[in-house]
Amino acid sequence: MNHQHHDERARIREAMDRLLTGQATASNGSITVVALAAEAGVHRMALLKRHVDLRNEFYERVRNETQQVPETEKRLRKTVTKLKKTVSNQKTEIDDLRQQVILLAMASAVLIDGQGALSAREPSLADAADNVLPFRPPTI
C-alpha cells in the first residue's frame, strides 16, 4: 500500500468521525457516502471502488452509533416492499387468468359437444324456445 493510498484511507476515517459526531467541516453533514467523500476530500468513486471496506465500515458505524438506517438501505427496503407487492398482484392476476382458462376450456368443450349433437340431429325451430335460435354448424 503506497503512502497516498494510506493517507486517503486516514482522511476517510477522520471524515467518518467528524460526520458521526456532527462536526462536519467540508460537507453538508448528512450521513451519506457522498458527504463522507466530500468531507474526506476524495472522489465519491474512491469509496465505491477502492475503499469498499471503508464504505461498509461507515454504514456499520452509522447503524451502531447513530441508530439510523443508511439512506441507501431505506431506498432498497422501499423498493423491495414495492416489488413484493407487485409480485403478489401478479400472482393474483395469474391465478385469475388460470381460472378463466379453465372456464373457457370448459365452455369450449360444451360448445364443441353441442355442435356434434346438432349435426347428429337437426333440430327444428319448433323444438327451440321462441326466443332462442340454435347454432348450426357452418356449411361449407
Helix, strand or coil, per DSSP, at residue 106: helix
Task: State residue 27's pLDDT score.
Answer: 84
As a whole number of angstroms, the distance between CA 37 and CA 33 comes to: 6
Q: Where are the alpha helices (DSSP H) in 21-138?
A: 33-40, 44-45, 52-66, 71-120
Predicted confidence (pLDDT) at residue 99 exceeds the cutoff of 80? yes
Task: State residue 97's pLDDT score.
Answer: 94
At 38-67, the pLDDT tens digits run 989 998 888 888 898 998 898 888 888 877
Task: State residue 66's pLDDT score.
Answer: 78
The pTM assigned to this predicted structure is: 0.49
Better pLDDT: 9 or 134: 9
CB 15 within 8 A of CB 36: yes
Task: State residue 95's pLDDT score.
Answer: 95
- 92's CB contacts (< 8 A; 6+ apart) are none
Task: State residue 81's pLDDT score.
Answer: 95
At 87-96, the pLDDT tens digits run 999 999 999 9
As a whole number of angstroms, the distance between CA 69 and CA 31 comes to: 10
Mean pLDDT computed over 76-82: 93
